[in-house]
Structure 1
Amino acid sequence: MDAKGFVEIDGSFLEGGGQALRNALSLSCILGKPVRVVKIRANRPKPGLSHQHLHGVNLLRDICNADVVGNSLLSTELEFSPRAILGNTYRVETHTAASITLIYQMALPVLLFAGRPSRLFVSGGTNVAFAPQVEYMQQVLLPNLKPFGASFDLKVQQYGFYPRGKGSCQLDVQPVAKLDAGQFLDFGHLQSVSGVAFTAGRLPMSIAIDMQRTAQREIHRHWPNEKCSIQAVKHSPEKAHDNGAGILMTAITSGGCVLGAASLGEKRVDGNVLGSETSGQLAQYLRKEICVDEHMQDQLIIYMALAVGLSRMRTGPLTKHTRTAIHVAEQLTGVKFDVAVESGGHTIVTCEGLGQRNEML
């Protein structure tokens, strides 16, 4: 902490993208600690705050009535001094395909520590590259937060894709008195695989069916006796204005693990390739019997750091996003994460949480 009371976070550390900024500001709001984030997104082709990050910063400013210096487009340094968290109804209009889920990722932990329920409307991209798809947030993040005693309700009003966005969602958050420790160690055995393969706009339903059939065939090849049900959907013009395609697959195990894998169609969409890639990724998790998939790792770190008691997760190799999230959490909360790599390739991440209490309730 410097002479002015700021905890300084180096945004170029490891992943060098938006992860350090998002986690630093969320923890700043919850802990009431001023932060200075420097070298923001230093490892990206266009360093500094993008539209999506700027909208997230300004949203947290409003939620915490914070004093902010440096909240302008492409700014590489930001000072953020929060006050009390205010549960309320908030709206963010990005006017781009900025990721709705990454904006929610910043706000959700903060709103859990508000004094009353909150509702957050965000417009932008529901299914865009380099961000969790909205279905992943609904089907994978939500059940993975339940062990912590946290929950939310997410409704999609309109789907939005790159480049125009125009999607819109409503997130409802109930505050918690505290977060319980989460245990993600018992894989058990595979119980079922479900999912959705979708197309929208001018992309034909046949692409969704190709994704569905290929994904189901791949899973049944490895697990012929397990249930695998992928729904093929063509979004109506009322639900989605523009062209888009993607697939999310979710696996549930007897140990309570919920693992996800997703792919998004680019310009030339091949449903068979998307279905094969996604089912292949999910099958890899299942064969290794990990309890937390690689895209969920980093999202759980902030909850582990704040929880009451010892949280543990069994996952694969840690991503740069996860190691960045651990670094930021340790700097701001003072907790320590233990990372142990087992002989079979599993990584066990352990953290005795801060035991943060919601002073607003």
Structure 2
Amino acid sequence: MRYLEMSEIPSHIIQYEGSNYFRIRLVLSLLSGKSITISQIRHNDINPGLSEAEVNVVRLLDKITNGSHIHVNETGTELNFRPGLLVGGKVHHVCSNQRGIGYYLEVLLCLGPFCKVPLDVVLRGATNHKLDPSIEAVRSASLPVIKKFFNFDNDIELKVVKRALNPNADGEVIFKCPISRKLKPVQITKQGKVKRIRGIAFTTKVSPAIGHRMVFEAKRILMKCIPDVYINTDHSKGVKSGTSPGFGIILVAETTEGVFFTAEAMSSPASPGSLPAIPEDLGREASLRLLEEIHNGGCVSSCSQSLAILLMSLGEKDVSKFVTGPLTPYSIATLRHLVKFFALTFQIEPIRDEDEDLDLGASKVGLTCVGVGLRNLNKRVL
């Protein structure tokens, strides 16, 4: 196929510049059926064009779709994407170690329910990464959001078969997602109060005592706030661990209304000249991040805000309302992209709990919209 110059691109194709928000643009293109062109991708950098992780995401989308047309120019600084049909099915995919498996799971969570057949994906790569949510964080924060919009119950599955960290990550994760014809509107405005905190401290190729040191420091801080704190240790060894040493901790706070807040911290990959991570510092860092998440509040953890916004916009043509903490930059970008792809705008207003005498925590944001009524036309009709 002859490559189109910018002046030849039809006016109905949505055009963007730069590498920011690459995944959400591809996701919205597939859901809306609108073609996109992204130009000037890191055109001034020393290494111009798409990164290895971004190319890997495009390959993953190509595996779960049928009829998608993808074209990248010779320098990798321009991408033409014409969406095809979401097929799903069984997929084995090796992820780039530039990013964690959570980077790819966030894409599959948005697209999985709209496939023709249920997704059954095996992802190989780094199960924990500093730039992306861990598998436990996705399971605790994102899956409850998915279940609020779909009647999936326990049908959706996310399991770590083998934990592995960079630089030589060869972990394995299984993700299974059923399909649905449509989404239901939601009215989720009550955050509730934190009733318990759970967590997991993982270690691979290091002493198991490091996990106990992280747990001790995290509990020392969190038990000043709430007595119900329980953190497991997960020591991977043998065939169930990768070849790279590392450790970290993931914390999850659950409220009386079924809202989950997550926070995590992990060691950096070993490199010449770098100082080793101290387990107590990671335990303290994760605890303070969790307390900040609780302070921000809302009915969804900050890492899953954009997912909730996307599902609200795709729901039936009825009013949906969701209360969140302060909007993250990625959530704000998602709201702006929805205007271009679906011509959908949200009503955004500050929220204050009138039932409480004290105004505790950060200011809350009320998001209200009328969904576009997206139907899964790929789903087989029996």
Q: When the two structures are superposed, what TM-score results if normalisation uses the length of structure 2?
A: 0.84
Say whether the 8 Å CA contact 1:52–1:99 is kept in structure 2: no
State the distance in 2 between where 1:332 and 1:43 align. Answer: 28
Which residue in 2 is equivalent to 1:351? 369
Which residue in 1 is equivalent to 2:34? 33
Residues 169-188 of structure 1: matches in 2 within 5 Å?
169-188=173-192
Which residue in 2 is equivalent to 1:321? 330
1:62 corresponds to 2:63: yes
Q: Structure 1, unaligned stretches of length 5 or more? A: none
Deviation at 1:189, TM superposition (A): 1.5
Query: What SS does the aligned partner of 1:137 have?
Result: helix
Whichever residue aligns with residue 89 of structure 1, its letter is: K
Say whether the 8 Å CA contact 2:164–2:204 is kept in structure 1: no
State the distance in 2 between where 1:78 and 1:333 align. Answer: 21
Superposed CA deviations along residues 236-260 of structure 1, whole A, max 9, x for unmatched, are: 2221122121111111111121111
Q: 1:291 aligns with which of 289, 296, 299?
A: 299
Which segment is superposed worse, 285-294 or 79-88? 285-294
Whichever residue aligns with residue 324 of structure 1, its letter is: A
Residues 1-361 of structure 1: matches in 2 within 5 Å?
3=10, 5-11=12-18, 16=20, 20-40=21-41, 48-65=49-66, 66-70=68-72, 75-94=76-95, 96=97, 98-149=99-150, 151=152, 152-201=156-205, 203-224=206-227, 227-241=228-242, 242-266=244-268, 267=270, 268-308=276-316, 309-342=318-351, 345-361=363-379
Say whether the 8 Å CA contact 1:95–1:165 is kept in structure 2: no
Say whether the 8 Å CA contact 2:161–2:173 is kept in structure 1: yes
Aligned residues: CA RMSD: 2.4
State the distance in 1 between where 2:368 and 2:46 align. Answer: 34
Q: Structure 2, unaligned stretches of length 5 or more? A: 1-8, 271-275, 353-361
Which segment is superposed worse, 311-320 or 117-126? 311-320
Whichever residue aligns with residue 265 of structure 1, its letter is: S
Note closer, same or farther for the CA distance 1:150–1:199 as it changes in structure 2 (3 Å cut).
farther
Whichever residue aligns with residue 194 of structure 1, its letter is: R
Identity %: 26
Higher-Rg member (1/2): 2
Say whether the 8 Å CA contact 1:98–1:165 is kept in structure 2: no
State the distance in 2 between where 1:299 and 1:240 align. Answer: 30
Deviation at 1:353, TM superposition (A): 1.9
Whichever residue aligns with residue 165 of structure 1, its letter is: A
Query: What SS does the aligned partner of 1:88 have?
Result: strand
Q: When the two structures are superposed, what TM-score results if normalisation uses the length of structure 1?
A: 0.89
Superposed CA deviations along residues 34-76 of structure 1, whole A, max 9, x for unmatched, are: 111234467988553222211111221232220111177x723
Figure out how many residues of one structure are paired with residues of the other and give that number.
350
State the distance in 1 between where 2:91 and 2:44 align. Answer: 31
Say whether the 8 Å CA contact 2:262–2:293 is kept in structure 1: no
Q: Which runs of 4+ in 1 moved over 4 A?
A: 41-47
Say whether the 8 Å CA contact 2:196–2:226 is kept in structure 1: no
State the distance in 1 between where 2:232 and 2:217 align. Answer: 12
Deviation at 1:324, TM superposition (A): 1.5
Say whether the 8 Å CA contact 1:23–1:329 is kept in structure 2: no
Say whether the 8 Å CA contact 1:147–1:181 is kept in structure 2: no
Which residue in 1 is equivalent to 2:355? none
Say whether the 8 Å CA contact 1:29–1:64 is kept in structure 2: no
State the distance in 2 between where 1:175 and 1:313 align. Answer: 23
Say whether the 8 Å CA contact 2:297–2:325 is kept in structure 1: no
Superposed CA deviations along residues 294-345 of structure 1, whole A, max 9, x for unmatched, are: 2222232222221223333323322211112222222112211233344752
Which segment is superposed worse, 335-344 or 107-116? 335-344
Note closer, same or farther for the CA distance 1:251–1:332 as it changes in structure 2 (3 Å cut).
same
Superposed CA deviations along residues 15-44 of structure 1, whole A, max 9, x for unmatched, are: x3xxx2211111211222211123446798
